[in-house]
Chain A
């Protein structure tokens, strides 16, 4: 009954080699978010989509891109991963309405950069 699914759960990539992480949801939520979480730190919002409307956080590096081809799927592309990009990447969704502010998180993808 998974509602927010992330694949793969673990990803190893080489320094500078592009990598794509995927997220899908069965909740039909309007909003999808990508967070980066480094060890023992708080999740940090990278960007989010409201429907097809993309919103980038001001301090998100250009190295990070995202695509949302339809309501259910959202992708995080890291164009040239550096060692500092090793982290857990969390996808989340929310309904996007005034009466519902809860976010639903996937299990995360742990990215290792060698």
Chain B
């Protein structure tokens, strides 16, 4: 079963508005990552937040992590039409060799209208 569940499944906003997507997960994590996928393309890594961090920023992106609630949120400020994509959170299971595998949530489909 999927580790992460995302909310909402779809979000439609106007350019300039902020978009907030939420992710919940079930078990303890080392890190949580957010990825973006344009229609019919591969995924692009956006940001990683470690389990001992509560908030992280990257440009117009702000990610929060609440390990007590097992949830994370991704905020995109001042959205643009080019932000239209699907956004996935991914929790990781670390292997002893120092690498991980990712378990993805179902994703939020964001549509930003000009």
Q: Which residues of A contact B (CB under 8 A)?
A: 4, 6, 30-31, 33, 40-45, 48, 50, 88, 90, 92, 94-98, 101-108, 110
Contact = CB atoms under 8 A, between A and B. Distances in A.
23 contacts: A30-B99, A40-B109, A42-B88, A45-B103, A48-B101, A50-B95, A50-B97, A50-B99, A90-B42, A90-B43, A94-B99, A94-B100, A95-B99, A96-B98, A101-B30, A101-B31, A101-B48, A101-B99, A102-B33, A102-B45, A103-B45, A105-B42, A107-B42
A69 to B, nearest CB: 20
Contacts of A98: 98
A25 to B, nearest CB: 12
B92 interface: yes
B81 interface: no
Q: Interface of chain B, helix or strand or loop or mixed? A: strand
Interface string B40-60: 111111001000000000000
A101 B92 contact: yes
B44 A96 contact: no
Contacts of B95: 50
